[in-house]
Structure 1
Amino acid sequence: MLPQWELTLYLLASLGFHFYSFYEVYKVSREHEDELDQEFELEMDTLFGGLKKDPTDFEWNFWLEWGKRSLVWLFLGHAAVSQLATLLAKKMQQPELSSPKQSLCILAKGLGRLLCWWWLAELMVHLMFMHALHSSPLLESVSCWTLGGLALAQVLFFYVKYLVLFGVPALLMRLDGLKPPPLPRCVSTMFSFTGMWRYFDVGLHNFLIRYVYIPLGGSQRGLLGTLLSTAMTFAFVSYWHGSYEDLWCWATLNWLGVTVESGAQRLLERRCVRETLTRYLSPQARRRLHALLASCSTSMLILFNLVFLGGIQVGKTYWDRIFLQGWPWVTLSVLGFLYCYSHVGIAWAQTYTVL
């Protein structure tokens, strides 16, 4: 375990990087608001004092419109059916699903969380036009701070969006006395490909392991069989999401990331390597080495998932500007920031991960 002051320093640095880069995105959004409005038809509403909204995330807008029309009726209908089932269970002398008071408490807490997440997602697309900027030629010319802020804003909006989209069915399951899969873990605490796939969409991960990876042989058929099973699993994921060129590229890159991480983990678990590290490095030094390696993995994790969120061209732009044109100072600065993020993520995983 690292000293508390050092962990606090990494946490404060991570938060500072987040907020400053978001501020840079906010400034660029305001400076180019008219230009982006002409190109993408920003929406005007009164939710945040007349600020315009970036409407270019199709998934968020589609489900938001559906929710405005149907969500209230869905909850009311479900509550009525759930309470009717409870009364029938009582009459049949079966264990009670949940009392009306418990259901009301679950509903109130769940709706409160959903409203907070929805408000945060809406605030992000009103203050930062990250989706429009990722589709604009401006992406080639904004500062490196803005570029980093756009990447963070894009992936964090994706996280908050799915807290809402997954939170609705999770709430319905709780009203029925069922235990839903855990909601996505914050992407700012992710520091590996395996962690991202395991803890972001837990339900999808469990489904893939049970119905795709294990039936294909999994890790029981040697190294080649493991590689093939993993590749076919990611091929299924790409097909599941729509089978576009961007998705095949994203799935292939993530398969590569998971494979490299698994290979590195096997290498570090070898007895001779483990004993060498233990002999020459203190526990604190090994922790810092872990964060250093994780910062490289995290940089690729963000880059590859930007291909999923923005397309191959967005991924190429980030690769060129951060890793080619930006070498060495921009690249090393990004890895330094991600080193701090990795320390926070590792501490979070060791403290809170129960899966």
Structure 2
Amino acid sequence: MLPRWELSFYLLASLGFHLYSFYEVYKASREHEEELDRQFALEIGTLFGGLKKDPTDFEWSFWMEWGKQRLLRFLFGHVAVSQLASVLARKHRPWILGAYGIWASWCVLGAHGTAIIFLHTLISFCVAQFRSLVLTWLCSLLLLSTLRLQDVEEVKRGWYQTENEYYLLQFTLTVRCLYYTSFSLELCWQEVPCGSSFYSFPWLVAYVFYYPVFHNGPILSFPEFIAKMQQQEYCSLKSNLSAFAVGLGRLLCYWWLAELMVHLMYMHAIYSSASLLRAVSCWTL
């Protein structure tokens, strides 16, 4: 563990670099707004007093579109199922939430998408039984590399009607790789024989298909997931609702901040303009 003063120094340095870089991008966006508007037809927003929005930010537009279509409904469904499971079947809550996650994945990604996630999870679990860190990392890297194999990409594209559905599967597979890797590493670090019942395939499936973090995170390590499942078993409805309200408020704040950044800093539009890439400062880049 690094000393507190060193951690504080790195934190301040990182914040300073990021804030100054954001300022440079903001300044370049304002200076070249007319040129960017001609090239990319900046969208006029309604949230921030008529500020124009960068329409070339693919990832933000992608998640906003998916959130409006299906993901938000399934997230609220998870909350409802979690509360019902806590009241009616508290001991079986992890399995109920895991089953809900599999069903939600089936609805959003289809049978093929859910099956390939399950297959990756099964392969990782089998390799983890050797309790070798090297094999675990090699397995995860090999599974991750299949996302860029052209033949595999063509097969997965054939499962869906739109590119957005294919990219959602790619995002999900990438994030799921971090989750089954976390489980496998924790299993490797356990003493032999492992007396804990948590390091079993059903727990891994419940962990991988935990829906609030299913498609794009945030990252939740396996020990944190176990602690969350155990802790919430004894929480009252009032405390759960309070936690939900706090989480929802935090999510809305993050959404508002991200929307503001898209309106103030035209990062992706600048990246897409060859002339501006030569004109802006190194800090902006």
TM-score where L is the length of structure 2: 0.43
